[in-house]
Structure 1
Amino acid sequence: MIIRGFLHTLAEIQFGTLREYSELMEKSIKEKSEEHVQELNALADEYPDDMKQEFWDYNIDGLHQFYNDYPNLLRSSILVSCITNVEKTFIRLLSDLRENSDPIPVSRNNRKLVGSDIEKVVQSIGEIIDLSSTTDSKPWKDLKFNIKIRNRVIHSNGVVHPKKHESLFKMIKEFEKRKEQYIALNQHHEIIFLEGYSEQIIVTSKNIVNNVIVTIQQHEKLKNI
């Protein structure tokens, strides 16, 4: 119980750090973007009208970096860090349960377990403790979706090929239709993380860790009554 509480606290601290970092960097990028536009506008005023278009064409890549590349890089790094935090916490949690619980959950390397390491841990623990309150929840569905997104960021630099990854491609296209849109694909099938994405993945990841650990702690309390 003490170890589980310790793991919970460590995960919460990391999520808090990621939130603070994300908010700080989002603010910084936005401020620098505005400063850059003001500087370019001042420079553009020095050019004759017939050269202004050429000026903006020349500087478009710099604007794209501030308004697209930098925010996307930040948000994708927050995604990877969040999933890593959940994964690391759950692997340690399973290790503790395998050492200190009865019955003993199977190893995450057991062939009957499928999916990512996070999913395998939840399946393993779920065989001895009812985790349906987690696995039936929207945050769990969202987390599995984001794990797929993380994999594409890591393994294909954020490209989701419409044929090779048809299922995920369709999921993102459906997501683009939502009122609260956090993610999209550009014309090159590259993942674009929109404003608000970082907060969404932090909250989702935090909820899953909280739900799983609290469920385990409640199960053990009832068992010891």
Structure 2
Amino acid sequence: MRDLTLFRSLGDEAFAQLMDAAYLQRFPPGVVLISENERADFLHVVVEGTVEMFATSHGRETTIELIRPVGLFLLAAVLKDQIYLQSARTLAKSQLLLIPAEKVRMAMERELPFMRAIVMELASDYRSTIRDLKSLKLRTSAERLANWLLRAEAEQGGSGQIELPCEKRTLAARLGMTPENLSRAFASLSAYGVQSKGSIVAISDLSRLSDFAAPDPLIDERDPS
């Protein structure tokens, strides 16, 4: 937990109090952890596995974000003591730390460095949201997929091979497209060295794919943690 920017500046005593009140729990895949419109009772920290943030409206559903270790979600709802605007479910066997929302708010009021860290965390979330919106509105489906593949390839060791962290329908929703559009996007990227088979994607020509994707630092470069 000390690796998270949010907790680095928290005093030892205050950090210990938060951890003493927290619960470390394991969940199998497919478990809905929280539902939108519920009151925020806990701050959730993903220690192992993958959690999908999603939302529904009038029978439609979309993926908003994938949270992997060590990451937290829905901090704003915890701080404001309001309802969740998203739902969350496990995509794989996962271990989560649940910190009571009230304890987080108390620590924020008492620890000025913690309050500063919270402000920075929320600012980082806002900037990430703007980057996602720019990618969604300024790029074609194939361009969004190409840039996602480049980031995933680098994050997974730069071997030219990617293991998808979720089902393709979930990836499609995360990138703002239908499963059919994702299939067409993969097909169009075959001309740039991308081959997809099941959950494995191989990239034989990273340079050519990068030329097509044209990564933009104002969209694709993430703020340092």
Q: Is the TM-score greater than 0.5?
A: no
Q: Give TM class, smaller chain.
A: under 0.3
Pick 1 or 2: higher relative contact order, CA cutoff 8 A, min separation 6: 1
Structure (1 or 2) with the greater strand fraction: 2
The structure with the larger Rg is 1
TM-score when scaled to structure 1? Answer: 0.26
Considering fraction of residues, name the structure with more helix.
1
Tell me the TM-score normalised to structure 2 length: 0.26
